[in-house]
Amino acid sequence: MKALLLREKGQWREMEVEEIETPHPGRGEVLVKVYAAGLNPVDYKTGTGGNPAWSYPHILGLDAAGTIEAVGEGVSDWKQGDRVVFHADFRRRGGFAEYAVTTAHTISRIPDSIAFVDAAALPTAGYTAYQALFKKLPMDHIQTIMIHGGAGGVGGYGVQLAKHAGKTVLSTASSHNRDYVHSLGADYVIDYGNEDVKAKVMEITNGRGVDAVLDTVSRDSATNSLDLIAYGGHLAHIAGAPDYTHIKPFTKVISYHEIALNANHHHNDFAAESDLAKIGSELMQLMEEGKVISLLERTITLAEIPQALAELADRHVKGKIVAKLI
């Protein structure tokens, strides 16, 4: 099969498409013929640092959609030809290839009305946003939420999901992405480059602050977000924990929520791993109903992935980039 090979850690910019042996599914696994693979910042980040579990050449790519080519021993709920999407375990070879093996209990069915490229744009970013909002934050007790980086993957899905849940959504974005983030459902979009974010949040909330923040940017951003949160509020962070000393204990009593989607794979916990399939199924249904869009902005070829990852590393990509293999 053709695959985009990472020859050594740190060499993701030099990856090339090469021929490699097609894998076979083991017990509890499926072999997926990959039609489309989504790109995410985690791809170049893990490609830079590597992983002790890898052997080289390695194949990156956590998000993939396609059809089941073969099922391994013990798999009874899936069959050849089923349309599926999955979020891969980054300790294993991923989806930047014509075929990929994954565990059967972590895949979700793609409705016939949804294109493979749209499904592949979903897992890492969409599942992360879903996990933050509906697995960590007490959404029944939240009315206002700030979602940083509304033009990005996690932020864009977060804006849509929070609005679908009936919340008042604030978001940050650059000036040229303001209309785009509004179109996703944000009630207020603050231009972080030209506006005082804290002042705008306090103006919008009459000085109270928001009930919750989903920070998708950085540790510094998470720390600054503490000033935006109302008493008894919540911070969910995906890009680094804040400096907890920024808030004096026993004052705002903020709850902190770490979001790490790939950790679902790492504890030999069948229930935790299966939760990925449940999240995927929920989001596929919302997408089929038109309540969530895929954020797909551009499709590329397998060979163009290294250049597109370089664009992601520059942190100015709107929406999602997906490699179309078929």
Strands, sheet with 229-237, edge to edge from the N-terminal-most edge strand? 188-191, 168-173, 144-147, 210-215, 229-237, 255-258
Q: Are residues 109 and 137 in the same domain?
A: no
How many domains does the structure of the chain reveal? 2
Q: What is the DSSP string of 211-231?
A: EEEEE-S-HHHHHHHGGGEEE
Buried b (16+ CB within 10 A) or exposed e, 165-191: eebbbbbbbbeebbebbbebbbebbbe
Arithmetic mean of pLDDT, 65-84: 98
Q: Are residues 275 and 255 in the same domain?
A: no
pLDDT of residue 316: 76
CATH number at residue 135: 3.40.50.720
pLDDT at position 108 over 80: yes
Cα separation, 169 vs 182, in Å, equals 10
Which residue range forms the structural domain that includes residue 303? 2-122+262-324
Domain end among 259, 278, 301: 259
Q: Are residues 244 and 316 in the same domain?
A: no
CATH number at residue 290: 3.90.180.10
Model pLDDT for residues 2-30, shown as the tens digit of each residue:
999 999 999 999 999 999 999 999 999 99
Q: Are residues 318 and 249 in the same domain?
A: no
68-77, 199-208, 232-241, 262-271: which range is least confident on average? 262-271
Model pLDDT for residues 306-322, shown as the tens digit of each residue:
999 999 999 878 999 99
Q: Are residues 116 and 181 in the same domain?
A: no
Q: Are residues 132 and 110 in the same domain?
A: no
Distance in angstroms between the alpha carbons of the first and the last residue of the chain: 13
pLDDT tier, 267 (very low <50, low <70, confident <90, very high otherwise)? confident
Domain end among 213, 241, 259: 259
Q: Are residues 229 and 151 in the same domain?
A: yes
Q: Are residues 156 and 242 in the same domain?
A: yes
pLDDT of residue 317: 86
Q: Are residues 129 and 252 in the same domain?
A: yes
77-91, 166-180, 307-321: which range is least confident on average? 307-321
The helices-and-strands tally (H runs, E runs) of the chain is 9, 15
Q: Are residues 108 and 190 in the same domain?
A: no
Task: Show Cβ contacts of residue 3 under 8 Å, excluding neighbours closer than 6 positions.
Answer: 17, 18, 19, 20, 59, 96, 97, 98
pLDDT tier, 53 (very low <50, low <70, confident <90, very high otherwise)? very high
Q: Are residues 308 and 255 in the same domain?
A: no
Arithmetic mean of pLDDT, 54-76: 97
Model pLDDT for residues 198-246, shown as the tens digit of each residue:
999 999 999 999 999 999 999 999 999 999 999 999 999 999 999 999 9
Cα separation, 121 vs 209, in Å, equals 32
pLDDT of residue 226: 98
Domain end among 259, 294, 309: 259
pLDDT at position 183 over 80: yes
